[in-house]
Every structure is written in structure tokens, then in C-alpha cells.
């Protein structure tokens, strides 16, 4: 089963060059169907789950993406580490179109998008001070540095920036000139996009490590000579896609090695707060008052946390069994059950 996932949108990875698909997983989750069948296969020797955020053929608007279903399905597969690509506009002269950026902070300006797995019988409040995984983001930066993408603008056309702040707008229309000027004059956000929220909040609730690699395609419209358009976004993301693929090939190998190292370190548990976001008082509801229906509905999300409270709190079904149980309601290849049991 894959432990690492790659989420792509309009960043030029739709062709999946170098990705050898093995099988697909398309479960009906409590939050509906995922954007598209999740493709499981090998990329540069690493087994990953590939999620097309906007669906096959880019049929979903940012506001229509079933973020909950996508992440729930990944949790069912056992994924715990995610690399998410997102195309963005620049609000900072230092961040040029064609560059890449590691997003460390986000500002949520979306509205009306479902942003939690909880409610309907259970209340939880996770910490979002650091919305992305700092350890994996550091590893992404070091990998990019090894690839020669850091501080070498004079040598190459594409450079990678660290510690970017991303403002997430509702969309689907781009900013007006006045909005863009206001965002540009604000010293905090460096980038603006449409898809990272509420996705990153749901990753934290699901106790998954996530890093965001932003592909800068335009200067929004604060720069009159370079007004953003869908054509400009597609053109510039296509230009940088070979570099993104090269970086991803190395990053996924590095992430797999990091995961194996953490797994071997049995005497020193993983201290990353991402994988323990529901510990302590994060779940406000008394565990004794969580109904069996809620436990079953959120089993992949709550399994670890409820096991800490009491073994009796857990339903008698494992996430792997639930994954296989849902195959009858999933649109997958016929031999998927056998493949999953073997892996």
C-alpha cells in the first residue's frame, strides 16, 4: 500500500510522465466521491498515490473540489505523507513567474467550503500555527538545494524560494486590479492561489504530514504589463513542469527514506506534531460520548486517537478491512482486492 501521495492540479503533471500506474482506487466515502480515481503506481521507484485535485480533464472548480473525500480516501489507503502542488500568482517582486516556492504559512480567504471532518456528534479543534509539516518542508528545501535550485538565479531561469506565505482566495475568477494592488501592498502574503484551503486544515485533522510546492505562473494583476489569465497560467506551468518532475523524483525518494528512518527509530517516537494533531484536548468531546456511528464514520481519522484512550472505544473493524469492505462500492479494477492484500 502507498504511504506517500502526490496531489496535482494545473501544474503540468497531468500527463504523469514517468508514472507507472498499477491500479486505481475510487471509494465512496462518507463525504462523497473523490475528485477522480486515485492512481496507485511507481514514480522513480517510489510507490505513490496520485490524486488529480480537479478531476480527470480538469472538470472541477476550486470551490467544487471534494477536499474531504480526497483526503479521507488517502487515509483509507494508509497514506501519511503528502506532496501537494499548487499553481499561484506572485504578490512579491522577489518571486518571479517560473520560480518555485515552499509554502510555510497560509491565509484563508475562502468562504463556504467544508473545512472539517468533525461535527455531527464530535467536536475537535486542531492547532494550525504551523499549517504544513516543518520537517518535511526542510527536507524538500534541502533536496531542492541539492538539485541546484536555491540561490542560483544567475545560473538558471528557475529558482526556489523558502518560507513563502500563501493567501488562498475563493475564485474561480482572478483578482480585480484593486484587489491585486491591495494584496501587493500588504507585506505578509507573497503568493495568491485558490486550492490550498481548506485542504491543509483537513490534512492536519487527518494527522498527515503535508508540504506545498507552489509553482509561480504570473504576477496576478498588480503589474500592468503582465495581467494574469488562464492561458498565461497554463503556458508558464508547462514551461516549468520538467524542472518540477525532476525535483519530485528526488523528493519522493528522500521522503521515502525519511519515513523508513522514522519507522526504525522505535525507542524515540516521531515527535512531529502533524501525526499527533488529535492528541490531548484537541478532541473536545468526551471519548465516552462519541457514538459508534461517529466512530465508524470517521474510523480512518480517529483510529489512532481512540486507541490511546481505550481499546474498547474502537469499532471492531480496521482501516484496512474498511478499505477492502468498500471495494464493493468502489469503481476499481477487478483484481484490486488481491493486489491490496498482497501489498
Q: Of 48, 35, 41, nearest to 6 (Cα)? A: 48
For 1, counting Cβ atoms within 10 Å of its Cβ (0-12 exposed, 13-18 middle, 19+ buried), the class is middle
One DSSP character per residue, 216-265 reads EEE-TTTSTTS---HHHHHHHHHHHHHHHHHHHHHHHHHHHHHHHHHHH-
Contacts for 276 with CB less than 8 Å, ≥ 6 apart? 207
| CA 79 – CA 268 distance, rounded (Å) | 21
Enumerate the active-site residues: 218, 220
Q: To 10 degrees, what angle do helices 67-77 and 299-309 make?
A: 60
Angle between helix axes 230-264 and 134-146 (nearest 10 degrees) is 110
Using alpha carbons, select from 138, 188, 185 the residue that is nearest to residue 162: 138
Amino acid at each position: 500500500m502507498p504511504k506517500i501521495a502526490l496531489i496535482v492540479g494545473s501544474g503540468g503533471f497531468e500527463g504523469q510522465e514517468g508514472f507507472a500506474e498499477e491500479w486505481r482506487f475510487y471509494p465512496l466515502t462518507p463525504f462523497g466521491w473523490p475528485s477522480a480515481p486515485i492512481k496507485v503506481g511507481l514514480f522513480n521507484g517510489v510507490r505513490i498515490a496520485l490524486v488529480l485535485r480537479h478531476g480527470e480533464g480538469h472538470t472541477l472548480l476550486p470551490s467544487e473540489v471534494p477536499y474531504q473525500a480526497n483526503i479521507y480516501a488517502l487515509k483509507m489507503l494508509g497514506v501519511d505523507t503528502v506532496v501537494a502542488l499548487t499553481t499561484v500568482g506572485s504578490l512579491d517582486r522577489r518571486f518571479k513567474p517560473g520560480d518555485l516556492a515552499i509554502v510555510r504559512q497560509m491565509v484563508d480567504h475562502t468562504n463556504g467550503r467544508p473545512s472539517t471532518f468533525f461535527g455531527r456528534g464530535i467536536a475537535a479543534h486542531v492547532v494550525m500555527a504551523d499549517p504544513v509539516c516543518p520537517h518535511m518542508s526542510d527536507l524538500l528545501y534541502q533536496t531542492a538545494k541539492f538539485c541546484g535550485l536555491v540561490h542560483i538565479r544567475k545560473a538558471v531561469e528557475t529558482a526556489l524560494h523558502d518560507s513563502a506565505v500563501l493567501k488562498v482566495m475563493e475564485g474561480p475568477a482572478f483578482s480585480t486590479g484593486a484587489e491585486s494592488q491591495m494584496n501587493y501592498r500588504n507585506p505578509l502574503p507573497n503568493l495568491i492561489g485558490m486550492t490550498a484551503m481548506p485542504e491543509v486544515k483537513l490534512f492536519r485533522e487527518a494527522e498527515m504530514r503535508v508540504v506545498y510546492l507552489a509553482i509561480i505562473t504570473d504576477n496576478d494583476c498588480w503589474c500592468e504589463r503582465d495581467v494574469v489569465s488562464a492561458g498565461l497560467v497554463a503556458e508558464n506551468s508547462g514551461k516549468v513542469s520538467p524542472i518540477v518532475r525532476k525535483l519530485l523524483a528526488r523528493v519522493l525518494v528522500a521522503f521515502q527514506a525519511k519515513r523508513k528512518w522514522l519507522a526504525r527509530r522505535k525507542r524515540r517516537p516521531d515527535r512531529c506534531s502533524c501525526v499527533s494533531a488529535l492528541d490531548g484536548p484537541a478532541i473536545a468531546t468526551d471519548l465516552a460520548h462519541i457514538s459508534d456511528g461517529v466512530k465508524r464514520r470517521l474510523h480512518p481519522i480517529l483510529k489512532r486517537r481512540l486507541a490511546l484512550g481505550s481499546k474498547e472505544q474502537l469499532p471492531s473493524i480496521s482501516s484496512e478491512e474498511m478499505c477492502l469492505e468498500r471495494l464493493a462500492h468502489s469503481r476499481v479494477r477487478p483484481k484490486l482486492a488481491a493486489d491490496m492484500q498482497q501489498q
